Amino acid sequence: MDVTILGLSLVELLALVAAVMLVLARWLPPGARRPVRTVAGGALALSAAVLAVLGIRWQLLPVLAGGAMALALAALPVLRRRAERPGWRARWWVALPGSAACLALIVAGAGAAWALPLPVFPEPSGAYGVGTTVVQWTDPDRDETATAQPDDRRTVVVQLWYPARGNPEGARPARYLGRTEQEARLVAHGTADYLGVPGFMLDEAVRAYARSTPDAPVADKGGRFPIVLFSPGLGGVRTQNTAWAEELASRGYVVAAIDHPYDSAVVTLADGRTVRTRVKATGDDAEDTRRAAGWTAVRAADLSFALTQLGRLHRGEIQGPLTGRLDTRRAAATGHSLGGAAALQAARQDSRFAAVIVLDGFPRDPAPRPFDQPVLALTHEIAPGEEADYLSRLTQVLQLSTAPSYRLTVPGSAHLTFTDSPLYLPPLPALVGSFGRAGGPRVTVETTVAFLDGTLRDKPGDLATILRRYGELTAF
């Protein structure tokens, strides 16, 4: 991974410093102006040339423009003298607005680079390397309810992260948002469309690489691995919790994250088709609640179907690298937001799931009934008067579990804290929480690993004591 400082690579940082020095040179003592401009102008030209070869990010365009404007203003008196025209130097009250405008451009570009950086994924800390692969499965027993075609069957795209022998020497890590640059760009722009923001805001996510290695050999040791199935948030995509998935895989879990076609922002199918979300709010609360229940039911069925397919993969009925290495008796249903609601419903309907993790999800099951699996529900900090029925509804469902369950409210968190979003979105507390770039993924990992180790691996320890370190815990 490239070294970055405040979201800037070393070449970009050189361009920034050079541009700032070109602006400030106008205000230095006369004897220092020319050498500073000469050095800064050369540094700006060199860094711009290197960036032109490597690819100039849109955030750097204002920086380069501000530096070029300052250089042009400095060169104007020199050009006039060489043309044997009278030299001219702007008075300070004329030059000051020009310098301020150049500096404003430079600061705006640097601020954009800091707010929307290239995401740098944390190095997994477990004993295993991490491999990843993408599979596509079609359920012959379920119609695709989002289309009118009578022979259309429900298809899901699943990305697996698994314990690997190590990261092979020289192997390039997996792209973050897709198997190819084209897929990553489609996913980024589709997600931006869904969120209603300009597509360029997710350009850095397109360029990002994670820490896992595509199709790496499965680890020789470790026996059969527990399984963690994951459903993303409404409009979310399978890779939205990659940092979390890679850390779990490095600790001996297999994570299977699902793209839900017609719900996830963009899904690229094996035949090249791109399926965009058809999910949208109507503005009618009752109708939106009804639709959310329907989407949740489809997702819950997708989770159960994926678990069935993983069982077939383990038995060798489906070709894949994990044959004989999966323990379907130790499987957790997990999800973020609407995906968390789907995980709860999947567990209630399917006793094969041994545990549930809900990452800030509002339950959507229209007919909740008792279920036997333990649950860990992480929630963001609810402000007074905000989402009045969220905690009460979640509490009602957690009380239906016959196993020990927990609701952990994490101070300083926001809805997107429990995803990869803090790694590349603006670090606004209301948007991604107040944990910094890597803090949100770290809290998510540490709390959920403690829960999974205790429930799927029977690891000894006082789970409640561990969880209380991270916030306000309610045990059921």
User: 9-23: per-residue pLDDT in tens?
Assistant: 899 999 999 999 999
* 3-class state of residue 25 by DSSP: helix
Return the CA Rg of the chain: 26
Tokens at 408, concatenated: 């952990």
Strands 406-410 and 472-475: antiparallel
DSSP 123: P
Specify the length of the chain in residues: 476
Q: What is the pLDDT of residues 175-229, one digit of tens each?
A: 999 999 999 999 999 999 998 888 888 999 999 999 999 999 999 999 999 999 9
Please tell me the distance from the alpha carbon of residue 205 to that of residue 19, in angstroms, as a whole number: 26
Average pLDDT, the chain: 92
Question: What span, in angstroms and rounded, lies between the C-alpha atoms of 309 and 44?
Answer: 55
Q: For residues 442 and 431, give the distance between their C-alpha atoms in angstroms, rounded to a whole number.
A: 17
Alpha carbon 445 to its chain's center: 14
Does domain 129-475 correspond to CATH entry 3.40.1440.10?
no
DSSP assignments along 207-271, one per residue: H-B-S-EETPPBPSSSSSEEEEEEE--TT--TTTTHHHHHHHHHTT-EEEEEE-TTTSSEEE-TT
* pLDDT (0 to 100) of residue 71: 86
Cβ 361 vs Cβ 335: under 8 Å: yes
pLDDT-wise least confident of 160-164, 165-169, 333-337: 165-169
| pLDDT computed for residue 78 by the predictor | 53
Position 85 scores a pLDDT of: 53
Q: For position 90, what pLDDT does the model report?
A: 59
Distance, CA of 233 to CA of 359 (rounded, Å): 9
Question: Could you tell me where the beta strands, DSSP code E, fall in 117-204?
Answer: 129-143, 153-164
| pLDDT, tens digit, 9 for 90 and up, residues 126-156 | 999 999 999 999 999 999 999 988 889 999 9
pLDDT greater than 50 at residue 80 = no
Say what the pTM is: 0.92
Q: Which two tokens stand for residue 260?
A: 């839900």
Residue 116's contacts (CB-CB under 8 Å, 6 or more residues apart) are: 7, 59, 201, 203, 204, 424, 425, 426
Question: Are the CB atoms for 202 and 303 separated by under 8 Å?
Answer: no
Please say whether the beta carbons of 266 and 277 come within 8 A: yes
Give me the residue label for tokens 């300052």.
70
Average pLDDT over residues 46-69: 94
Residue whose entry in the numeric block shows the structure tokens 């006369």: 30
Rounded to whole angstroms, how far apart are CA atoms 2 and 12? 12
Show contacts of 33-40: CB within 8 Å, 24+ apart: 33/74, 37/71, 37/74, 40/67
Instruction: Say if strands 355-359 and 326-336 run parallel, antiparallel, or are unpaired.
Output: parallel
In angstroms, the CA 229 to CA 245 distance is: 10
CA-angle at 127, arms to 124 and 130, nearest 5°: 50
User: For residue 36, what are its two tokens?
Assistant: 């500073």
Rounded distance between C-alpha atoms, residue 306 and residue 245, angstroms:
16
Residue 260 is which amino acid? H
User: How many Cβ atoms from other residues are within 10 Å of residue 313's Cβ?
Assistant: 24
Of the two residues 301 and 27, the one the predictor is more confident about is 301
CA distance 367 to 154: 24
Instruction: Pull the structure tokens for residue 111.
Output: 């601020």
Tell me the β-bridge partners of 256. Answer: 160, 229
DSSP class of residue 316? T
Q: Name the nearest CA neighbour of 252 among 282, 283, 220.
A: 220
What is the distance between the alpha carbons of residues 312 and 318, in angstroms, rounded to a whole number?
A: 6
Residue 304 corresponds to which tokens in the numbers above? 């159960």
pLDDT tens per residue, range 432-459: 999 999 999 999 999 999 999 999 999 9
Of the pLDDT bands very low, low, confident and very high (cuts 50, 70, 90), residue 1 is very low
DSSP state of 383: P
Residues ≥6 apart with Cβ < 8 Å to 316: 323, 324
